[in-house]
Structure 1
């Protein structure tokens, strides 16, 4: 190992983390550039650009909370805590996401990222809620409608936890409020209206980001594998930072995004997904073709 590599790995997990640093610079740099050049771009171009950058920022936050690129997690959290998409208290999500990895995946009572409901919840629900839950098993409803519902629900949940004084949530909310105020203030100094920024990064970013988790986890009685593999193209793989290779990510969440493909090969992730019926060789185009209007499965997850 050269002296430069040695000095780099004292700060970064490995020399290859320059890729993660490049993503961080690109996400924040292009976001600032889009805001600054708003008069040239106009809302017609700025909103879709900010939507892509918002989704990329959420993928970047996911990488940061899993410990990349710096060995010092405080630095990772400081970078990830900048609320470009405005809505998610980073430290609260970090805590919840680690709990997701340790949970009984898809179990609505134990997995905080499950989109399923229990039989008891279904039995108690009225026809409108049941219809919404069923519609949420289609990708278009998930993207354009449920993103609004889930954003409000999650922020409300974190605020309630903070009000109860649950560990870490008050700090998460406080830092998030300060961060949002700073971002809004900086955007307001430009020619870009704040509503354009929010429409792009918050709503647009959430819409694009909702594509990734839609097929990620599926419960099937008697089937051990509940995690999917989506063989996306270069653009979507970069946008999702390879989190579409989800079996591999859950196999070892600490592996950096640029090594997930190699990990997938080592753990035979494609064949495992194929055997479980959760391999999408056609990428997200296949997901849209199959599930734009047809539910992927029932919203009710039976007890294991």
Structure 2
């Protein structure tokens, strides 16, 4: 059994005291962003793009951490830490709402019930048309997910949000208005104050989105038992830090309140149980995923229960 001292699975588990490793991490990420943009004209564009992509992806991992009740016992403070829109395209309140909905594990991978599902219903698949289906199949390969994946994700998300805004979904326009103010502030700092070309900022946003798509690429896969739909990626020290050990994904879904810096130790202690629970869906690092799926589909893009 998993360590009984751990909290039962849930969406948000507020901390009892300030988690200083996460506070320090937030300072490093935001300080790194300010430093990189300030000195961007003194660095080669490729360095700025890669370092910026890392910071954007790292910031997304931090947002995921604060969604789950870290680093303080005050969720308003946590939300404030995660609310700066460095990635430009994703309003934090919408991410928070959809991600907590994703944690209804009994619905994992369901294209209707799980907002983070990459599967299609048969009806949605047919509506894509021949070109759309070709791109969707390409997006099931790792190479496709890293190249066209970010733009597919972006266009799909913005299209859905535009429909909600047109339908006057309660609170949506307010969320986007507040988000727009934050985006203007980020772009004013980076392009006007720091003199960064807009194309370069957009390039490292895209790079960060691609890094994030690497994390999510093999996290979930349909299985009859919902406990076997969540993967584990072991032996990934560099990307593990970037993703705040969310690569140990089955543990995160079982105990979402565990702080990122505790996850590796808890995983090692409970590895045998966790691997048994998820049916052995384990990858030996992201190199293993690349070897298997770089040009091959990870799964059929249509969900078997929505025919």
- Normalising by structure 1, what TM-score? 0.89
Match of 1:56 in 2: 58
Aligned match of 1:88: 90
Shift of 1:262: 3.7
Select the residue among 190, 194, 198 that pairs with 1:194: 198
Is residue 2:266 matched to residue 1:266?
Answer: no
Query: Which sits farther off after the overlay, 19-28 or 213-222?
Result: 213-222
Q: Give the 3 Å change call, closer, same or farther, for CA 73–259 of structure 1 in structure 2.
A: same
- SS in structure 2 at match of 1:212: helix
Deviation, 1:249, is 0.6
Kindly provide the CA deviation profile for residues 176-211 of structure 1, in whole angstroms up to 9, marking residues without a partner as x. 1000000111112113222212211x2010011100
What is the Cα deviation at residue 36 of structure 1?
1.0
Q: Measure, in 2, the Cα distance between the counterparts of 1:253 and 1:28.
A: 24
The answer to whether 1:120 aligns with 2:116 is no
Q: Unaligned 5+ residue runs, structure 2?
A: 1-13
Q: In the TM superposition, what are the counterparts of 1:134-213 in structure 2 within 5 Å?
A: 134-187=137-190, 188-200=192-204, 202-213=205-216
Q: Partner residue of 1:302? A: 304
Counterpart residue number, 1:218:
221
User: 8 Å contact 1:232–1:283 — kept in the other structure?
Assistant: yes
Match of 2:10 in 1: none
Aligned to 1:228: 231
Aligned equivalents of 1:114 and 1:79: distance in 2? 27
Who is 1:74 aligned against?
76
The CA RMSD over aligned residues, in Å, is 2.0
Structure 1 stretches of 4+ moved >6 Å: none
Displacement of 1:155: 2.4
Flag the 1:250–1:146 CA change in 2: closer, same or farther, 3 A: same
- CA–CA distance in 1 between the matches of 2:225 and 2:66? 34
Kept in 2, the 8 Å contact 1:91–1:169? The answer is no
Q: Structure 1, residues 205-245: CA drift from partner, whole Å, max 9, x if none?
A: 00111000100000134674100000142211110001101
Name the CA distance, whole Å, in 2 between partners of 1:226 and 1:168: 33
Residues 162 and 173, structure 1, Cα contact 8 Å, conserved in 2: no
Q: Which residue of 2 aligns with 1:7?
A: none
Contact persistence 2:118–2:301 (CA under 8 A): yes
Equivalent residue for 2:22? 20
Match of 2:4 in 1: none
Residue matched to 1:46: 48
CA distance in 2, matches of 1:181, 1:151: 19
Given that residues 275 and 281 in structure 2 are in contact (C-alpha distance below 8 angstroms), is that contact kept between their aligned partners in structure 1?
Answer: no
Structure 2 residue matching 1:70: 3-state secondary structure: coil
Shift of residue 42 of structure 1?
Answer: 2.8
Q: 1:232–1:244: 8 Å Cα contact kept in structure 2? A: no
Relative contact order: is structure 1 or structure 2 higher (C-alpha 8 Å, sep ≥ 6)? Answer: 2
Residue 159 of structure 1, CA deviation: 3.5
1:167 CA drift (Å)? 3.7
* Greater shift in the superposed pair: 20-29 or 167-176: 167-176
Q: TM-score, normalised by structure 2?
A: 0.88
Deviates more, 1:140-149 or 1:122-131: 122-131
User: How many residues are treated as equivalent by the alignment?
Assistant: 289
SS of the equivalent of 2:88 reads coil
